[in-house]
Amino acid sequence: MTSVLILYMSRGGHTARIARRLCEHIDDAGGRAEMMDLVEAEHEGVDWSRYDVVALGAPVLYGKYDKSVIEFVTRHRTQLEAKPNSFFNVSVVARVPEKSTVAGNRYMQKFLQLSPWRPRDLKVIAGKVDYPAWPWLDRFMIRLIMRMTNGPTDTTAVIDYTNWDDVRAYGTHLLTLR
């Protein structure tokens, strides 16, 4: 049975939800999956020997990755590269088809420039607009960005752009990386 560790960083909870779904799909497909937040991984440590495959996911926030993501991959590059591995990002910009591919997603390209880790596998996942859940300043700033990019600007809107069938397929794909 292939064991997969899904490491993730999540600010608003959506990347954690994606990680949870990946674990469910991997388990349903006959693998064994566990998820671990990067904060937990740093504080508790990771027993890398327990896993055959490692995936790491992170959201794009204001066009950037949280510094903890780059710090983590810098510290654990050797362990990440010792296993079949994958990196996925989550961004609302991926709601646009041409920006939902690895080549077309500038934030994936940015990760590859910033990261010393060279993931063997990459995935772009569309995120979620959740105006009501965001603090006032985030709501204001993201609305401004959305206005400039022809995205939704209704501050009562909650729009999940995530293709959950694609997330399922990615979970199954992770099992093949072995």
Assess whether 51 and 7 both reside in one domain. Answer: yes
Locate the DSSP E strands across 44-92.
53-59, 85-91
Assess whether 111 and 146 both reside in one domain. Answer: no
Express each pLDDT in 136-167 by its tens digit.
999 999 899 889 988 999 999 999 999 999 99
* Residue 62 backbone class (left: φ over 0; alpha: ψ -120 to 50; beta: rest): left
Assess whether 71 and 133 both reside in one domain. Answer: no
| Torsion sign over Cα 137, 141, 147, 152 | negative
**Per-residue burial over 78-103, b = 16 or more CB atoms within 10 Å of its CB, e = otherwise:** eebbebbbbbbbbbbbbbeeebbeee
> Average pLDDT over the chain, rounded to whole?
96
| CA separation for the pair 14, 32 (Å, rounded) | 22
Assess whether 83 and 12 both reside in one domain. Answer: yes
The tokens describing 12, both together, are: 């608003």
Assess whether 52 and 114 both reside in one domain. Answer: yes
DSSP helix/strand/coil, 15: helix
Strand order in the sheet with 121-126: 32-37, 3-8, 53-59, 85-91, 121-126
Task: State the total domains in the chain.
Answer: 2
Q: What is the pLDDT of residue 178?
A: 80
Has residue 174 got a pLDDT over 90?
A: yes
Has residue 130 got a pLDDT over 90?
A: yes
Q: What is the pLDDT of residue 149?
A: 87
The CATH number for 26's domain is: 3.40.50.360
Q: What is the pLDDT of residue 127?
A: 96
| Parent domain of 110 | 3-127+162-176
Q: Which residue has the higher pLDDT, 44 or 62?
A: 44
| CA separation for the pair 94, 87 (Å, rounded) | 15
Of 67-81, 120-134, 142-156, the range with the lowest mean pLDDT is 142-156
Assess whether 78 and 153 both reside in one domain. Answer: no
Q: What is the pLDDT of residue 62?
A: 85
Express each pLDDT in 9-43 by its tens digit.
999 999 999 999 999 999 999 999 999 999 999 99
Of 4-8, 122-126, 139-143, the range with the lowest mean pLDDT is 139-143
Has residue 73 got a pLDDT over 90?
A: yes
Assess whether 119 and 94 both reside in one domain. Answer: yes
| CA separation for the pair 77, 100 (Å, rounded) | 26
Assess whether 35 and 91 both reside in one domain. Answer: yes
Assess whether 43 and 110 both reside in one domain. Answer: yes
Assess whether 63 and 139 both reside in one domain. Answer: no
